[in-house]
């Protein structure tokens, strides 16, 4: 949860998550919909699917016991090099280097490493630096200290260099380069996409449909989508088999992803009573739909509908 999300945001999600899944077998046995519902609002939903898949892999291949070696941990779904090293170091005392965002910043400043840490060559240099500075003992406090140093002292803006325990030989501090190190991600204009989302209502119930397991919002419940220039009523008749009786355009909603910005044009349609529910679709009262695993912008739309 802490990957790509701030601690203050994560805490309530974490508390609800561990209350529902107090141990690894409970998570492994859970249905993916339940896992995604508890994650709804945190974003980057592949993390939740990987967490669930990792629990199932541990149950299936490690007799339900979390593996203790770096290589075995790194083979779990969704676990990268730095995360595997952090688990191995903090949980099992293994001498492994980590390189999360905070540690990258500490090492780039202390070692005077120029360039954007996301660049492969720069990142390779930071890995070498991280491994060269590992202590031979007390790996747990060292690992935690490195993360805390970046999170609390060597912050992105206004670092507290005066109270930093390693300021005596920090290149960025000595050369007054803390503002330029590490370099920022190269600016890139995000492409923009437009889409219509349909809020289909029948006798007070809203239709949700399951998204494919791969891709954006994979495995979550969402609203039917269609190109922004298509006719919603015709789409309902021709592709969904429903008969629309009334149509209302709602205010546009925008949502930013890592690689693009999505502009959503919601359209609410009141339908004639349906005859069947095809596979992959479900009809719920708006209040009940809020308990499902919904992407953040869809949750906003359903929340407004529930309040109406």
Q: Is the peptide bond before 270 cis (omega within 30 degrees of 0)?
A: no
CA distance 142 to 131: 12
Q: Give the list of residues 6+ apart from residue 230 with CB closer than 8 angstroms, or none.
A: 196
Q: Measured on CA atoms in the order 126, 128, 129, 133, is the torsion positive or negative?
A: positive
pLDDT of residue 187: 86
∠180-182-188 over CA atoms, to 5°? 90
Quick check: 260 and 192 in contact, CB under 8 A? Answer: yes
8 CB-side CA count, 13 A: 1
CA distance 130 to 108: 10
* pLDDT under 70: residue ranges of the chain: none
pLDDT of residue 278: 81
pLDDT of residue 122: 97
pLDDT of residue 279: 85
Q: How far is CA 204 from the centre of its chain?
A: 32
CA distance 194 to 172: 43
Helix (H, G, I), strand (E, B) or coil at 151: helix
Helix (H, G, I), strand (E, B) or coil at 30: coil
CA distance 54 to 39: 16
Query: 170-221: per-residue pLDDT in tens?
Result: 999 999 999 999 999 888 888 999 999 999 999 999 999 999 988 889 889 9
- Which residues does residue 270 pair with via DSSP β-bridges, in sequence order? 201, 246
Tokens representing 136 are 């031979």
Query: 29-63: per-residue pLDDT in tens?
Result: 999 999 999 998 888 889 999 999 999 999 999 99
Smallest Cα–Cα separation from 129: which of 148, 144, 109? 109
């Amino acid at each position: 949860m802490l990957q790509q999300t701030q601690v203050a945001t994560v805490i309530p999600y974490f508390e609800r998550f561990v209350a529902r899944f107090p141990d690894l077998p409970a998570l492994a046995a859970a249905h993916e919909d339940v896992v995604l519902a508890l994650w709804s609002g945190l974003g980057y939903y592949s993390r939740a699917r990987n967490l669930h898949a990792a629990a199932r892999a541990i149950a299936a291949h490690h007799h339900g016991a979390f593996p203790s070696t770096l290589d075995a941990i790194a083979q779990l779904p969704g676990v990268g090099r730095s995360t595997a090293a952090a688990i191995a170091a903090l949980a099992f005392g293994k001498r492994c280097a980590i390189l999360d965002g905070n540690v990258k910043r500490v090492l780039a400043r202390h070692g005077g490493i120029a360039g954007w840490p996301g660049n492969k060559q720069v990142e390779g240099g930071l890995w070498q630096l991280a491994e060269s500075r590992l202590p031979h003992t007390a790996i747990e406090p060292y690992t935690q200290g490195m993360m805390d140093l970046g999170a609390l002292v060597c912050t992105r803006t206004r670092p507290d260099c005066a109270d930093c325990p390693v300021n005596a030989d920090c290149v960025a501090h000595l050369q007054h380069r803390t503002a330029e190190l590490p370099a920022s991600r190269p600016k890139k204009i995000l492409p923009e996409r437009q889409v219509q989302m349909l809020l289909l209502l029948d006798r007070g119930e809203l239709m949700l449909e399951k998204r494919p397991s791969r891709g954006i919002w994979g495995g979550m419940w969402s609203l039917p989508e269609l190109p922004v220039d298509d006719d919603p009523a015709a789409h309902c008749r021709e592709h969904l088999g429903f008969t629309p009786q009334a149509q209302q355009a709602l205010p546009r909603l925008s949502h930013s992803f890592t690689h693009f910005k999505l502009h959503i044009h919601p359209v609410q349609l009141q339908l004639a009573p349906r005859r069947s529910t095809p596979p992959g679709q479900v009809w719920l009262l708006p209040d009940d739909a809020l308990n499902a695993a919904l992407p953040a912008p869809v949750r906003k739309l359903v929340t407004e509908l529930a309040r109406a």
